[in-house]
Structure 1
Amino acid sequence: MATSPLVLGPMLRHVDETSATIWVETDDAATVRVRADGRAWEARTFAVHGHHYALVELADLEPGASLPYEVDVDGRRAWPEPDSEYPASVVTTWLPGRRLRLGYGSCRTSVPHDAHGNRTHGVDAMRAFALAMAADSAERPDLLLFLGDQVYADLTSEEMQEFIRSRRDIEEEPGEELKDYEEYAHLYRLAWSDPANRWLLSTVPTAMIFDDHDVRDDWNASLDWKRKMEATSWWHGRIVAGLGSYWVYQHLGNLTPAERADDGIWQRIAAHDGPGELDLTDEIDEFADRSDREPTSVRWSYTRDFDDIRLVVVDSRAARDLDPDARGLLDADELAWFDGQLRGGFRQVLVATSLPFLLPMGLHHVEAWDEAISQGAWGRTPARIGETLRQAVDLEHWAAWENTFQAVAQMVEELADGERGAPPENVLFLAGDVHFSYLAEVERERADGARILQAVCSPIRNPLPRFMRWFAVVMSYGIATPVGKLAARSAKVPDAPFRWRTVKGPWFDNNLAMLVDEPDGLRLTWHTGVVHGGDERHPELEQVAGITVPADRRTGITA
């Protein structure tokens, strides 16, 4: 049986009213053609470190069109695969006036979908959703938003380690962690090649942003952390490979046609008309190196508008300022950009970032306290202890960057109070990372204006061990709340500008969340996969929790 010329994809990426982009990785240099509705669009591949990619732009489509498509590679049909058990892959353009359906989640490990994998990592909620959608028992979202840790470069599976051993001594640094672009390419292949998930990614538009494990645990937690990494023999290769592969596999597909036109690397791809395949290896490596050395040279964040709903996707990892005298989760340039996106006149404003803005208040106080002592509030010795604690137990969310937290809280309050134009119904933060899910709401004194909410969905497939769940609950909701508040005050941490409470949660299932804009408000649901009758390959999708956020603030949130 002949092998397919497609290594990965097709992946349906950015889609708007009249255009769509389809990303593929092929096994050799080629011309990739997408055929739909009697028309065809094509692109030549470009190469990075011996791998071949194409992004095909479908233009001049009709709003609200639903077009089954096929993919040819050098004139040979490569998608759909022969005898596929899944429905046709479809490009569905945005129709003005349609109510948004948005799926989201984070933290997904790539291990086999068999009994052993399901026992150690739980059922893949994304795959369970794919199977349900293929069986027409789950509605198609307009967008799937992945909020970090699509791949784990530092916590590798047995399959990934086998590949590493095939090419280098795994006992030498960086050991079982990823070393270079070739290993990243294989990790993405493991993550996106399962048939059910591959079909899902071919037929539902996706948007993405990284978190730490896409590069390494605690990535950019502090200047101390970065100096330790830079002192190793392998870090420079890791960060260059991590950011370079992120641009190719994730970021490029996030871009709108206008944003691609402004992107220097894409300009080279679009302008290439010479013989042979364009090799971008050096350009990608140089770009990635510069992105790490000069974070303001690139913006990974982006904004998407769906009629009167604004989605702002914020980079909370690479755009940090690690200078102890100017610490910021967002550097000054990124903070100013984010400030400019928070404008009134939208019915809903969704802020998506890998890290929860509103942690449970107990954990928020602990992280704020740890930052203060790490910065010297109690002297040098406690500062060293605080830094060790920060890196040991991941105390580096928004709460651990007090200046940024306070600044963003003020921006959000201004938006919610109508000081930036007509207020939305809700300012809703979407996030992942923490490996448990919940909904929190800010306690607002004003009867008018917007609700401020935090909805977390984590993990898609990487559950906390059961003993860690107890620790997470205690740290987040138990004695840490009053003790953390006292500790924060003892370190002279300013009070948060508002209080918030958990409305629903926590729960620890592998989950994929759905946000649906309904006439009477927002409907939020969390879904997990459950194996019945020992059929590990065909888990069923079940709802874990459902919450309605009414459009009228005088009506309470209901489960």
Structure 2
Amino acid sequence: MPPEELPKVVAGPLLRRLESERLVFWLVGTARLTPKLSLFDRQSGDCLWQAVPVPGESLQRVRIGERAWIHLLDLRPPRPLPPDRELEYELDLDGEPVTRQIPGLCYPGRERPSLMLKSRLDRLLHGSCRKPHFSGPDALVRADGWLGEHLCDTQERPALLMLSGDQIYVDDVAGPMLQAIHQVIELLGLFDEGFDAAPVGTSAELYSHPDGYYRRERLLPKTRPQRGLGDLFRVGMQRPIFTGHAIGNHLISLAEVLAQYLLVWSPQLWQRVRLDSELAGGAQNATFERERAAIEAFAAGLPAVQRLMAQVPVSMIFDDHDVTDDWNLTAGWEQAAYGHPFSRRIIGNAVLGYWLCQGWGNDPDSFGPDLLAQLEAWSDAPGGERQDQLIDRLLERESWSYALPTEPPLVVLDTRTQRWWSERSPGRPSGLMDWEALTELQQRLLGREAVVLVSAAPIFGVKLIEAIQQVFTFFGKALAVDAENWMAHPGAANVILNIFRHPKTPRHFVILSGDVHYSFVYDVLIRFRKNSPQIWQITCSGIKNEFPHRLLDALDGLNRWLYAPRSPLNWFTRRRAMRVTPRRPTGQGRWHRLVNQSAIGLVELDEEGVPGRIRLLDAAGGTVEFDAPDSQHSK
């Protein structure tokens, strides 16, 4: 396709941060765009502010291909934005409003997209795990409908959309998605790269390799780790570094990662790709066609997703699938993965993609000018030594955690790159955060009355499932069951529980989590303590994914009987000092406590940071409420 036929914007705009003195937008264009933002009072129609971002100060651009530039607009209004008022904005790109390029960016009856700075974090949407080829609806489409119903409602409009992991699936990619990715790489001229110690010398060779579709496990690197008891009898055997169950289309190049981000957030490029099962090889035609139906349904919902993310602030954090399944799960895995140049590059490409598309907009201030200069140097000479240097810099980053200055404050935890290695065995699960990171977290929380804490994996999970993971871990099979939970590592478990017990940490903890592909709510108190903090573990997963239904039903029932709040088995868990009471979800059956359906969470917080109402907006259109303990006991 000739460059002149490409739209100016191929992803975004995403509203990343909205504060009284700050607006951050992210978008990808097919040229170096010069944006201008105008802000209007929706009620009066008055223009409140016009701004032309200054390159290097309030506008950062980075070229990722011959016809692709990422733009980050970091704008500071001259006066604080008015809270709790609907404001409309017009984003002009080289003299043309973005709404002319993307007419669907506005809700029916509107001429401009809008935003609302909430004075409190009173309502927020949250969820994780959005797999494009899962055969079910996309809950972000449902969230768009909810926002459309409450655009000018000061009370009901959400203050934030929190995506707590697996925004993309690097390791589990459908054949049609990979085909679309390769066409986008060609359309935009995304940069090629070379590989060391790999069966392909360049990314261009990868895209045309006979094993490039559905058989990439043959291309991915192997090593000889010893992870546990089960490996003692296989010393010397080569073992795969990438251990996911669906790695036949695992993304490898940076261009593939970046193209996937563009394809999961915006519809513009889907209109320019062609899905053809013959291109993937005849042996996989049936799989391709089955995945194709799910992918086409996913793409059909993207105009709504694009509209949603342009009008509500979006915060994000990675989990494993944003990089690869079992990412940093054990010390042995880390030693094997980062010690091989090809696997290090694959992981590094995913982390670099995360920074460019997620992390940068989360916390622009944490990335200094020297790192941005290094990024520009890579853009001038991509794919070689400068890419390795940039990846090394990002892999050595101390933390990707960040906080938003909301009321109550929202603290987002990096539970992937600050791992607490097991001292007993390199094959045992690492702690989700190390001692230094947890100590820093405790200092950040001291003196707060309330906090919203975002942990990709639930801090208080389903005890039976954690017990099963512990058994597999004992036999050296932690990777087989994704044995990563806060209680899997004694050091991390003790420190995080001590944070809740500390007398100077918040009285109200709301914990938002995902990861597990089902949803639940627990009320948690410290046993035998009059002034226990109130803790709510609120888990919503997935946005477009589910757990195997029969298996989860069995686990849910067994967990309820074996680990009821008064069960003596609780005294054999690390959480024995905590009383954990699961809430009953409406419409799920009397004995169910886990909800297994694609949904987006909606949490309402009162002025003290206490959740007054907790709901799931079902992707299919229904609503699930989690009854408070008092009301559920009365039924």
Q: TM-score range by the shorter chain?
A: 0.7 to 0.9
Query: Helix, strand or coil for the counterpart of 2:409?
Result: strand
Q: Does 1:178 align with 2:178?
A: no
Deviations 1:357-384 (A, max 9, x none): 001222334445555x3xxxxxxxxxxx
Instruction: Select 1:328's aligned residue among 392, 415, 431.
Output: 431
Query: Helix, strand or coil for the counterpart of 1:203?
Result: coil
1:221-232 matched pairs, under 5 angstroms: 221-230=329-338
Q: Which has the higher strand share?
A: 1
* Whole-angstrom CA distance in 2 between matches of 1:279 and 1:548: 57
Instruction: Select 1:529's aligned residue among 619, 628, 631.
Output: 619
Deviation at 1:285, TM superposition (A): 4.8
Distance 1:494 1:355, change over 3 A: closer
Q: Does 1:239 align with 2:347?
A: yes
Query: Helix, strand or coil for the counterpart of 1:45?
Result: strand
Distance 1:469 1:136, change over 3 A: same
Aligned equivalent of 1:146: 163
* Whole-angstrom CA distance in 2 between matches of 1:287 and 1:451: 43
Q: Does 1:20 align with 2:23?
A: yes
Deviations 1:225-278 (A, max 9, x none): 33454576742221111110111100011116x445x56434778xx9x9xx97
Deviation at 1:147, TM superposition (A): 0.5
Q: Which amino acid aligns with 2:401?
A: S
Query: Helix, strand or coil for the counterpart of 1:318?
Result: coil
Deviation at 1:70, TM superposition (A): 2.2
Q: Which amino acid aligns with 2:487?
A: A
Task: Report if aligned partners of 2:17, 2:361 keep a CA contact under 8 Å in 1.
Answer: yes
Aligned equivalent of 1:106: 128
* Whole-angstrom CA distance in 1 between matches of 2:532 and 2:571: 30
Task: Report if aligned partners of 1:459, 1:509 keep a CA contact under 8 Å in 2.
Answer: yes
Deviation at 1:503, TM superposition (A): 2.3
Q: Does 1:403 align with 2:491?
A: yes
1:349-360 matched pairs, under 5 angstroms: 349-360=451-462
* Whole-angstrom CA distance in 2 between matches of 1:286 and 1:485: 53
Q: Which amino acid aligns with 2:390?
A: F
Task: Report if aligned partners of 2:570, 2:576 keep a CA contact under 8 Å in 1.
Answer: no
TM score, norm. by length of structure 2: 0.71
Q: Is 355-364 or 100-109 further displaced after alignment?
A: 355-364
Structure 2 unmatched runs, 5+: 40-46, 54-58, 184-206, 221-247, 267-301, 585-592
* Whole-angstrom CA distance in 1 between matches of 2:439 and 2:34: 41
* Whole-angstrom CA distance in 1 between matches of 2:578 and 2:496: 12
Deviations 1:329-380 (A, max 9, x none): 212332222121222332x222111000001222334445555x3xxxxxxx
Deviation at 1:14, TM superposition (A): 1.3
Aligned equivalent of 2:362: 254
Deviation at 1:44, TM superposition (A): 5.3
Aligned equivalent of 2:447: 344
Identical positions, percent: 24
* Whole-angstrom CA distance in 2 between matches of 1:121 and 1:128: 16
Task: Report if aligned partners of 1:19, 1:93 keep a CA contact under 8 Å in 2.
Answer: no
Task: Report if aligned partners of 1:463, 1:510 keep a CA contact under 8 Å in 2.
Answer: yes
Aligned equivalent of 1:168: 208
* Whole-angstrom CA distance in 2 between matches of 1:329 and 1:135: 38
Task: Report if aligned partners of 1:6, 1:26 keep a CA contact under 8 Å in 2.
Answer: yes
Aligned equivalent of 1:441: 523
Q: Does 1:63 align with 2:82?
A: yes
Q: Which amino acid aligns with 2:484?
A: E
Distance 1:136 1:312, change over 3 A: closer
Q: Is 66-75 or 468-477 further displaced after alignment?
A: 468-477
Instruction: Select 1:306's aligned residue among 401, 406, 416.
Output: 406
Q: Does 1:265 align with 2:371?
A: yes
Deviations 1:94-120 (A, max 9, x none): 43xx45211111100124xxxxxxxx5
Query: Helix, strand or coil for the counterpart of 2:617?
Result: strand
Query: Helix, strand or coil for the counterpart of 2:98?
Result: strand
Aligned equivalent of 2:143: 129
Distance 1:68 1:329, change over 3 A: same
Deviation at 1:141, TM superposition (A): 1.0
Q: Does 1:361 align with 2:451?
A: no
Q: Does 1:92 align with 2:116?
A: yes
Deviation at 1:45, TM superposition (A): 2.1
Aligned equivalent of 1:465: 548
Distance 1:284 1:133, change over 3 A: farther
Instruction: Select 1:33's aligned residue among 32, 36, 43.
Output: 36
* Whole-angstrom CA distance in 2 between matches of 1:437 and 1:502: 11
Deviations 1:389-434 (A, max 9, x none): x1111111111122101111011111xxxx216x42x212110111
Aligned equivalent of 1:378: none
Task: Report if aligned partners of 1:48, 1:279 keep a CA contact under 8 Å in 2.
Answer: no
Instruction: Select 1:503's aligned residue among 583, 589, 602.
Output: 583
* Whole-angstrom CA distance in 1 between matches of 2:60 and 2:386: 18
Query: Helix, strand or coil for the counterpart of 1:102?
Result: strand
* Whole-angstrom CA distance in 2 between matches of 1:47 and 1:475: 53
Question: How many pairs does the alignment contain?
Answer: 499
* Whole-angstrom CA distance in 1 between matches of 2:546 and 2:492: 29
Q: Which amino acid aligns with 1:247?
A: W
Structure 1 unmatched runs, 5+: 112-119, 374-384, 531-540
Deviation at 1:288, TM superposition (A): 2.8
Q: Which amino acid aligns with 1:320?
A: R
Distance 1:450 1:40, change over 3 A: same
Aligned equivalent of 1:219: 327
